[in-house]
């Protein structure tokens, strides 16, 4: 569904955003009736509180939104969205309480709070709309919100309607919207063009595996995004238990994330030469499925011993990263719902990432705060390289022992990313429960932080 601001309207309801500590000073500027109404309604300025003050005819005269305390806000991203969801129907304009930069973030949160996944069932819309004002960089905010909505829609769509062919169509639709070029290699053509790992992982599915390759822009630094597009993951012959398979429609969350980020970049006309690579497959069970113990060739020439067919994401990414590195772009970034170990380490809300570039890390972590998109750096720990070297082949796709699972996966990918600038994000892509501006379901992670850091990362 489209996310947008309400058009300018002189009748918009002024919205005053009040911290708990600011309530008394605001009271001092109001008449006795107003103070009595606010007090009677129990408004204290706590996070999530919302209150409309009526005029004599009963129509909203102004509205208040609780902004809590600094301690409370550290525990709540998009604080204003918590109150906006409780406001009655109407168009609102922020009148006081937020500085310029904070308004940008909270306005984005308001738009994200209005997201609804309504492909299969009509959903009740958010009643309160935010008016666009001159203080807001509306084009940027809308691009971020619609990019995030694209990511959410793709992840939320079940695999019946989001197979490799459907993911390809989503990429084609995005390319058409922004005038990008796209090429797709499908099925046995993957073997003919030397993408053996992508073909092997996806060959057991009814819907053919493919490599999606989208390009946009002809000036500026070169940036290649690589997203894991495993549209459903049964675990292959190392079959997942039912409880672990239930969320595997989201295993293409890396692909959804890079497409959302690509939209943000293209919609705002960033001066960058963008390439997006998505190996799109289903990891299925059939007589021709790859097996534990197989040793598979890769595009790079490295051989990989398969110790677990459920560690397939790093395999398809390996061929795509090899292709990415062949052009020596200024920056390669991979995003993938890759390991359960990352969730154990940092939980569902943080996006762990790997980079050896201190400047990249510094830029990203500043932007993560600015964009309310938290990330956490994990190490490419070189001493663990031995854990992914099985002896019988060049690499092991699933080292035994269970230690450092996210790190060993990242080290595996780094073997294929060349010698240039490379960063990897091991995201979750799922919001397990409702939170302000983040409904339960698919969610983008790390993409807004990357967008915000782009100029500093690419040194433009």
The SS3 call for residue 293 is coil
Active-site positions read: 240, 314
**For residues 107 and 136, is the Cβ–Cβ distance under 8 A?**
yes
Q: What are the phi and psi torsion angles at 269 (to 5°)?
A: 65, 35
* Bridge partners, 65 (sequence order): 17, 50
**In this structure, what is the dihedral angle of CA atoms 429, 367, 102, 256, given to the nearest 10 degrees?**
-30
The C-alpha atoms of residue 234 and residue 71 are separated, in whole angstroms, by 42
Beta bridge partners of residue 441, listed in sequence order: 431
Nearest to 333 by CA among 421, 206, 273, 406: 421
The backbone torsions φ and ψ at residue 377, rounded to the nearest 5 degrees and listed phi first, read -80, 130
Place of tokens 């060739």: 297
Going 186 to 192 to 196 to 202, the CA torsion angle's sign is positive
DSSP result, 338-377 = --HHHHHHHTTT-EEEEES-HHHHHHHHHHHHHTT--EEE
């Amino acid at each position: 569904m489209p996310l947008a601001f309400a058009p300018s309207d002189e009748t918009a309801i002024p919205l005053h955003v009040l911290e708990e500590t600011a309530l008394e000073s605001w009271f001092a500027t109001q008449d006795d009736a107003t103070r009595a109404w606010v007090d009677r309604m129990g408004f204290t300025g706590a996070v999530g509180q919302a209150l409309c003050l009526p005029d004599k005819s009963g129509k909203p005269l102004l509205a208040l939104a609780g902004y809590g305390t600094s301690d409370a806000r550290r525990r709540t991203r998009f604080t204003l969205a918590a109150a906006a969801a409780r406001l009655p129907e109407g168009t609102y304009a922020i009148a006081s309480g937020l500085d310029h930069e904070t308004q940008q973030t909270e306005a984005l949160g308001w738009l994200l709070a209005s997201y609804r996944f309504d492909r299969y069932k009509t959903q009740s819309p958010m009643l309160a709309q935010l008016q666009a004002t001159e203080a807001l960089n509306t084009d940027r905010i809308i691009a971020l919100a619609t990019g995030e909505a694209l990511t959410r829609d793709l992840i939320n769509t079940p695999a019946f309607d989001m197979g490799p062919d459907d993911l390809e169509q989503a990429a084609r639709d995005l390319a058409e919207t922004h005038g990008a070029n796209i090429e797709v290699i499908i099925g046995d053509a993957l073997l003919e063009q030397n993408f053996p790992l992508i073909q092997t992982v996806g060959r057991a599915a009814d819907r053919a595996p493919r490599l999606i390759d989208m390009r946009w822009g002809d000036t500026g630094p070169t940036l290649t995004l690589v997203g894991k597009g495993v549209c459903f993951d049964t675990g292959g012959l190392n079959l997942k238990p039912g409880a672990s398979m239930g969320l595997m429609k989201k295993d293409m969350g890396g692909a959804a994330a890079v497409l959302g980020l690509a939209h943000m970049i293209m919609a705002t006309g960033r001066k960058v030469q963008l390439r997006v690579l998505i190996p799109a497959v289903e990891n299925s069970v059939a007589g021709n499925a790859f097996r534990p113990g197989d040793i598979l060739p890769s595009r790079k020439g490295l051989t990989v011993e398969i110790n677990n067919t459920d560690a397939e994401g790093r395999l398809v990414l390996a061929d795509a990263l090899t292709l990415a590195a062949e052009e020596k772009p200024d920056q390669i970034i991979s995003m993938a719902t890759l390991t359960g170990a990352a969730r154990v380490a940092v939980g569902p809300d943080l996006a762990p990432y790997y980079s050896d570039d201190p400047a990249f890390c510094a830029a990203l972590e500043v932007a993560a705060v600015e964009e309310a998109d938290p990330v956490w750096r994990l190490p490419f720990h070189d001493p663990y390289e031995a854990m992914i070297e099985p002896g019988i082949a060049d690499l092991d796709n699933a080292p035994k022992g269970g230690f450092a699972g996210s790190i060993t996966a990242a080290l595996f990918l780094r073997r294929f990313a060349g010698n240039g600038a490379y960063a990897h994000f091991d995201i979750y892509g799922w919001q397990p429960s409702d939170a302000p501006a983040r409904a339960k379901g698919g969610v983008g992670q790390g993409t807004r932080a990357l967008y915000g850091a782009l100029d500093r990362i690419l040194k433009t």
